[in-house]
Every structure is written in C-alpha cells, then in structure tokens.
Amino acid sequence: MAKKYFWLKLKDNFFKQKSIKKLRKMAGGDTFTIIYLKMQLLSLTNEGKLYYEGVEDNFVEELALELDENVEDIQMTVLYLQKNNLIEFGELPDEYILPEVVGSIGSETAAAERKRQQRAREREKLLLENKKCDNVTTKSQLVTNSHTEIEINKEIDIEKDIEREKKNHLLSLSYKEKLTELKKIIMKATNSNEHQVNLVFQPSRYQNIIDDLLLNIYNSDYLQGETDKIPPLSTYTTESQINKIMAGFYKTHNKAKDKIGIETLQYKTNNSLDDIL
C-alpha cells in the first residue's frame, strides 16, 4: 500500500475559542489542551474518528495507553470535550468523532509528494534554460508561434462550448438537485461519507452562489477530486475557502497554453518586424 502523509490544519483562532480558553484555565488545563491536540492528531488517519479496540477495560484507559498520558487527565479531558460538544458518538459502536478535525485534514500520498518535488525541480530547470535563451530569437519561432496561436484559438472555442454546456446543465436542475450534486462532488473529492459531510454542510451558505460555485468547481480538477492531492472538507464549507473557489483560485489551467502565450507576447514585444525580416 502506498505511503500516505496526513496533517492537521489547526485554525488560527484555536486558542482564542472560548471552549479552549476555559479548558486552559482549569487546574491542569494546559495538560488537557495538549491531550486534546494529541487526540486530534491520533484521529487524522481515520478522518477525525477514534475507536475503542478493547485492549484496556474502557475507552479512557485505552486512550491513556495510546497517548502515554495519565488516566485521570484523559478522563477529565474527555468529560470536558463531551460537555462542550468537541467529541461525539459515531454511528458505529465504540466510535468517537472529533468534529473540529473533520474538514481540517490534509493529506497526500508519497507518490504525490515525489511528483510535487519533481515538478519543482523541473520548474527550476526550465527557469534556468529560459534565462539562457532570453535573447535568442529566430524566424522559425515566429512561424511556430503563429501556428500555436491558431491552436489556442481553437481550444478557446472548445472551452466556450463546454462552459455553455455546463451552464445549461445547471439551468435544468432545481436548487435541491444542485445541493445534492455539490455534496456528491465533496464526498468524492474528499473521500468522505455523507455523515461526515452533513456535519459541516450548511445549505443556506450556498443559496445565492450555488450556480457560480458549481461552475468554478467544474473548472477545477483539484476540487473535483481528479488529482493526487485530497482537498479537506473545509475547502467547500468555510467562508474564506468558498471565497477562494469563487475567485477562481483553484481553476485548472492549461500550463502549456499559458506558457506559449507568455512567450509569444514577450517575443512580439521585444522584436519589431524589421528585426525579424
């Protein structure tokens, strides 16, 4: 099985939350806070869930063993988390959910990490090559760029047709059907089940933006779960991340086309017709 890396996206206001402030002010509160963070990290590979496996007499004692913490401290922490809805019972027996973790998990496979590093090396190599060739221009480049512009225009026409089809598809759906489609995309892209999505999904948040939101998602391989990297649930459910989607932040670009377009513009800017002829 391919190795996979996980990380917890801790909110920047984590320590400003009233529930955490109150926890820290308790006797032993700093220890309880560390335990809570360790519980979140422990749940990452199970999408924010913890399980009692029966190794010890109960969940608290088993968690103390797993985290190398005092049983009494674990018990106090779990009781506080239950009281403040920071830990919930799951659908399965002996399953516990940390709702703050759901939607805050990032992950990628080892293969994806290698690809990312390889792409970074290729970009550096390309920059060096481009720097060496900045002042080199030929007639063949002009011909190639002309053909490339024709191909780009054809691609743009195709993209416009696809965009029209997407809009027509959305026009045929009711608001409820659009929400269902959005949830299906989120579940597929984040590898989440319906229960996990429902915990953080707020339909009212999408009421006035559902069409534009779906169109932007359709234009992103990442948001549709078509890349190696898995987006967290928060990408689709928090206001700041939704604003990024609406701004086209995750749009999939044709890198080859963009690169050629930039080179063509630079070539035309730096060379007059007299220089070429």
**pLDDT tens, position by position, 123-147:** 777 777 776 665 555 555 655 555 5
For the segment(s) 4-105, the CATH number from 1.10.10.10, 1.20.200.10, 3.30.1950.10, 1.10.287.110 is 1.10.10.10
**Looking at per-residue confidence, does 71 or 277 come out higher?**
71
* Helices 71-83, 59-67: inter-axial angle, 10-degree rounding: 120
Report domain extents, the chain: 4-105, 138-277
What is the reported pLDDT for 125? 75
What percent of the chain is predicted at pLDDT more than 70?
74
**pLDDT tens, position by position, 2-57:** 566 778 888 888 899 999 999 999 999 999 999 999 999 998 888 889 999 999 99
